Structure 1
Amino acid sequence: MNELARTCPPDAAGAPRSTPGSAVASDGYRVVATAGVFEPGFRGGGPIRSLRFILDTLPDDLDVTLITRDRDLRSPVSYPGLSGRLLRRDDRSAVFYLDPFAPRHWARLLRHVRSRPVDLLYVNSLWSPFSVVSIVAVASGVLRVGAILLAPRGELSPAALGIRSRKKRLFLTVWAPLLRRLDVSWQACSRREEEQIRAVVPWAKVMVNGNECAVPEDLAPPAEPRDGPLRLVFVGRISPMKNLATALEAVAGATRPIRFDIFGPVEDEPYWARCRRIVESMPAHVRVTYRGELPAAEVLATFGRYDAFLFPTLGENYGHVIVESLAAGCPVVCSDETPFSELIAEAGGAVVRPATAAAFSAVLDRLADRSVAERAEAKRIAAERYRIWREQSRELNVLEHARRFCR
């Protein structure tokens, strides 16, 4: 099997598709990016969609190699036919699928990365082993780069730091001085995240860029709502950060009939066991169904079938599922821990303050009292407000912005 294969972005099922074309330009601004998971995986959630959008919208004179693991999050098996290969997505980007335990992969990767000067190292996640290894490679002189941009992807929010906080704080006491010595720049997806980064790393040079929305332009109209119980959906990783337990307590506390469907990978088994116990004690007028993992290609169509997206998250640096829900015409009922509170309220949803189960229950009862016509109007408003927001929020591609910022 050849080391270098040419592909375009994955098809609807997530598998790469072969395509002919010329080799990537060798005289542009060269970026090496790292991420723990990428397509055709989908369990990593929003960061995967961010990276896909970044790679799909690159300026012509950028050349990006993304280094990622050869399997999906928590998967014991590699993607068929991809392990150890460098695949061209198009003339400007390629993806290297690495098995960290295969020495031949490291040798092959090192030859590719060191074949030409690297202008920017773009690492996604503060804690990921991919980030740690690549930054240590720079610090030790194994890899020479012009600049480093680190995207913590919400990992420095108070809620995120509160999970295994002792281990994270200890790591930062060692890691932060090295990042400062290397003159690392930071990417925030919102002003909120910028503040969170500065609260932990006061010396940080922060570039704010939230242009990471990968929703297609040609969306179908929102699906018509049905008569009967309020149809709610939760789409996200099943982990404490996404706060599914509060969503379940909220629907249990509502007095109106509700149908609540849950989609997402189980990331934390003890937390999921807690959620299942809440489900087992649901009142008779509430029906809850866990529908398993949801491939990225099915997210928009799924949102379109529901009256509202219930999402009491403890914190989002961006919140791709919020954008996707609105794009599909599904209003959002959410905590005030995202960059989109104003948009959510304008788009026929609700921002719940304080984000208690009782407060969410009261909002759900109000939504359940809407007529079918009112639910249809709310869905129309959500899709329309999304379109207006999308037109007003266009920014530079993140890596084009970084080329200017990291000088």
Structure 2
Amino acid sequence: MAGDPTPAADTRERLTTVDEKRFHVLVTAGYFAPGWRAGGPIRSISEVLALASDDIQTSMLTRDRDLGSSDPYPGLSGRWEQVGRTNVFYLGVRRPGHWRSLWRSLRADRFDLLYVNSVWSAFSILPMAAARLGLLRVGRILVAPRGEFGPAALRVHRLRKRIFLTGWRWMLLDPRVLWHATTPAEAADIQRVLPRAQIGVVAVSRGPEPEQAPAELPATHHARLVFIGRISPMKNLDLVLAALAFVPVPVRLDIYGPVEDPAYWRRCREHLAALPDSVAVSYQGELRPEQVRATFSRYDAFVLPTRGENFGNAIAESLSAYCPVLCSDRTPWTAVLRDGGGLVLTELTATALGALITQVATATPEQRLAARVAAGDAYGRWRSSRTPVSVLDQARRVIRDPACRVPPQGRTP
């Protein structure tokens, strides 16, 4: 069949080299490199794989295309490919031949850990069900909900999610299941939804290396604001546009990111008609990951009144590029922003956000430069306090010694 994977023998050869003395992990995620439109989770999973010890052997299952794309990655669809130290299978979900080759590869192996990223994704549901039915030989399961149990996230498609959780609770509370929370707050979110959930790992990303110094920007009398992120209700772009109507001085906002929800984007654009002439808004399209920090460095502030982030990779990238962040208090970054990283929005209203934007817009060029320096310095202090964390090493330690498990509500011992 044209476009089907490499021959089964070749596929088996890639995975039958498993070293029985090593800790073998099967990772699943809906999207992964070379994709980038799914945003932060791709970067977070890449970091997890990169930090794993050399004696942890990783295999991975993901889609053969990027978020929102109808075209598979050239040369990868239906094949195993080495990405770093991980064998990755790029699955075309509508290609029966791909499923057959994948099954031939996996059925002979035994995995010490199945690490799934998301609760709702088919790339989590199907492997977990296969493990429960004995079709996939798995010792333990680690689930990373990646913010999906946050209160705001649960309100999106609320009824559908409630029905799913009712039917799927038997699997999520299987004694073999551990949970990966990125912060103690997310651990509490998980246990609010599933009180008997076993939190195995609480580990947050360390973020990128900070730039050496802020980029030089031409002095202007108007503030240069930017929004970079998926255009979806969780990111709250419509609140940014509504808030600009309350800014009495000239300001420019550039918007970058994939339109994940076309209906929501239409709603966002309706706000443009109400904006005064002193406000200029422009949609600049999508950015590849390698362009993000350089783009942040050209602006006076990143505006993100998000409804909730379990980490917030874009916030880390902005601060690392000396771009202050105007952000809601529903992320792990509040303390860093109050330490000089930007401004914290405690009330998700257009008037409250408009007041914060006005603070930036009425600052002098010298004050805006000082704010950029302070943002980078605050990020540097935060990052220097972090120790690189290997999620998979932590999970292995918990599996071998249950006493290492995180106490209820994500409290540290």
TM-score (norm 2): 0.90
Cα deviation, residue 306, structure 1: 0.6
* Matched letter for residue 188 of structure 1: A
Match of 1:35 in 2: 29
Correspondences of 1:6-405 after superposition (within 5 Å)? 27-90=21-84, 92-215=85-208, 217=209, 219-225=211-217, 226-405=219-398
Question: SS of the residue aligned with 1:390?
Answer: helix
* Greater Cα shift, 226-235 or 127-136: 226-235
Output the CA distance in 2 between the equivalents of 1:291 and 1:151: 32
Output the CA distance in 1 between the equivalents of 2:201 and 2:139: 20
* Matched letter for residue 71 of structure 1: R
Distance 1:219 1:195, change over 3 A: same
Asked if structure 2 preserves the Cα contact closer than 8 Å seen for 1:197 and 1:204, the reply is yes
Asked if structure 1 preserves the Cα contact closer than 8 Å seen for 2:183 and 2:204, the reply is no
Cα deviation, residue 344, structure 1: 1.4
* Greater Cα shift, 23-32 or 104-113: 23-32
Output the CA distance in 2 between the equivalents of 1:261 and 1:24: 49
* Matched letter for residue 214 of structure 2: P
* Matched letter for residue 203 of structure 2: G
Asked if structure 2 preserves the Cα contact closer than 8 Å seen for 1:187 and 1:206, the reply is yes
Output the CA distance in 2 between the equivalents of 1:69 and 1:330: 33
Match of 2:404 in 1: none
* Matched letter for residue 50 of structure 2: D
Output the CA distance in 2 between the equivalents of 1:26 and 1:252: 62
* Greater Cα shift, 320-329 or 389-398: 389-398
RMSD of aligned residue pairs (Cα, Å): 1.7
Deviations for 1:228-258, whole angstroms, at most 9, x for unmatched residues? Answer: 2101111111111110000111122111111
Distance 1:273 1:47, change over 3 A: same
Match of 1:8 in 2: none
Cα deviation, residue 107, structure 1: 2.2
Cα deviation, residue 394, structure 1: 1.5
Match of 1:9 in 2: none
Output the CA distance in 1 between the equivalents of 2:242 and 2:206: 31
Cα deviation, residue 211, structure 1: 3.2
Output the CA distance in 1 between the equivalents of 2:172 and 2:135: 16
Cα deviation, residue 220, structure 1: 4.7
* Greater Cα shift, 106-115 or 131-140: 106-115
Asked if structure 2 preserves the Cα contact closer than 8 Å seen for 1:213 and 1:320, the reply is no
Output the CA distance in 2 between the equivalents of 1:181 and 1:55: 25
Deviations for 1:306-332, whole angstroms, at most 9, x for unmatched residues? Answer: 100100000011111111110011110
Asked if structure 2 preserves the Cα contact closer than 8 Å seen for 1:139 and 1:182, the reply is no
Equivalent residues, number: 388
Output the CA distance in 1 between the equivalents of 2:233 and 2:70: 23
Asked if structure 2 preserves the Cα contact closer than 8 Å seen for 1:209 and 1:395, the reply is no
Unaligned segments of structure 1, at least 5 residues? 6-22
TM-score (norm 1): 0.91
Asked if structure 2 preserves the Cα contact closer than 8 Å seen for 1:71 and 1:79, the reply is yes
Output the CA distance in 2 between the equivalents of 1:115 and 1:347: 54
Output the CA distance in 1 between the equivalents of 2:390 and 2:62: 20
Unaligned segments of structure 2, at least 5 residues? 12-16, 401-413
Question: SS of the residue aligned with 1:126?
Answer: coil
Distance 1:309 1:24, change over 3 A: farther
Output the CA distance in 1 between the equivalents of 2:107 and 2:52: 22
Asked if structure 2 preserves the Cα contact closer than 8 Å seen for 1:50 and 1:214, the reply is no
Question: SS of the residue aligned with 2:302?
Answer: strand
Distance 1:289 1:399, change over 3 A: same
* Matched letter for residue 327 of structure 1: S
* Matched letter for residue 369 of structure 1: T
Output the CA distance in 2 between the equivalents of 1:210 and 1:285: 44
* Matched letter for residue 219 of structure 1: E
Asked if structure 1 preserves the Cα contact closer than 8 Å seen for 2:299 and 2:323, the reply is yes
Output the CA distance in 1 between the equivalents of 2:280 and 2:212: 28
- Which stretches of structure 1, 4 residues or more, deviate above 4 A after TM superposition? 1-5, 23-26
Output the CA distance in 1 between the equivalents of 2:308 and 2:207: 20
* Matched letter for residue 334 of structure 2: S
Asked if structure 2 preserves the Cα contact closer than 8 Å seen for 1:52 and 1:214, the reply is no
Cα deviation, residue 94, structure 1: 1.8
Cα deviation, residue 182, structure 1: 4.6
Asked if structure 2 preserves the Cα contact closer than 8 Å seen for 1:49 and 1:214, the reply is no
Deviations for 1:151-198, whole angstroms, at most 9, x for unmatched residues? Answer: 011111111111110010000001012221353111111111111111
